[in-house]
Structure 1
Amino acid sequence: MNISLPDPMRVFVEEQVKQKGYSTVSEYVRHLIRQEQENLENKRLETLLLEGLDSGEKIEISDEWWENKKEELVQGLRRQK
């Protein structure tokens, strides 16, 4: 895949690669894509959690319960991919 960028964007990307210690522009772009994927996954997880909280089901929520539920939902999202 080739991507064309205007000069100011190309310079910005090259500066980010140097400043943040990436080996290549491709590595930097992969990092940005992974970040966006994680952001989307987190937004979906938040939506699911809010839907669950709005469901009216009464449960006692502890730190342990919350961690277990979050892990369960993350695993479910990964299986959907």
Structure 2
Amino acid sequence: MSTMNISLPESLKSFVDRQVSRRGYGTSSEYVRELIRRDQDREHLRVLLLDGAAASDPVVVDPAYFDGLRVRAVERGGR
């Protein structure tokens, strides 16, 4: 694993320390890694949404669409 050092003003360091304590992270590094993973997930979702919006065959998303998703989720073992 690589190491990265960052400089933070005291107010941000205090915030990170509080988050580590309140959320049960073992270290500030665990907290920062989680933030980065969430950002990666958001970026991936953004790409998927933009790709879907640019698709040549748009899908109508209405109540029937979501009903179909629920049926498929139940069939696959979801709730």
Amino acid across the alignment from 2:69? D
In the TM superposition, structure 1's runs of 4+ consecutive aligned residues that sit over 3 Å from their partners are 57-62
Match of 2:50? Answer: 47
How many corresponding residue pairs? 63
CA distance in 2, matches of 1:58, 1:29: 37
- The C-alpha deviation readout for 1:10-68, integer Å capped at 9, x for no partner, is 0000000001110000000000000000000000000011111xx1x37797538xx8x
TM-score, length of structure 2 as denominator length: 0.68
Give me the identity figure in percent: 39
Match of 1:27? Answer: 30
Query: Any gaps of 5 or more consecutive residues in structure 1?
Result: 68-81
Query: Any gaps of 5 or more consecutive residues in structure 2?
Result: 74-79
Q: Which has the higher helix share?
A: 1
Q: Which fold has the larger relative contact order, with Cα–Cα distance below 8 Å and residues 6 or more apart in sequence?
A: 1
Which structure has the greater CA radius of gyration? 2
TM-score, length of structure 1 as denominator length: 0.67
Q: CA RMSD in A?
A: 2.6
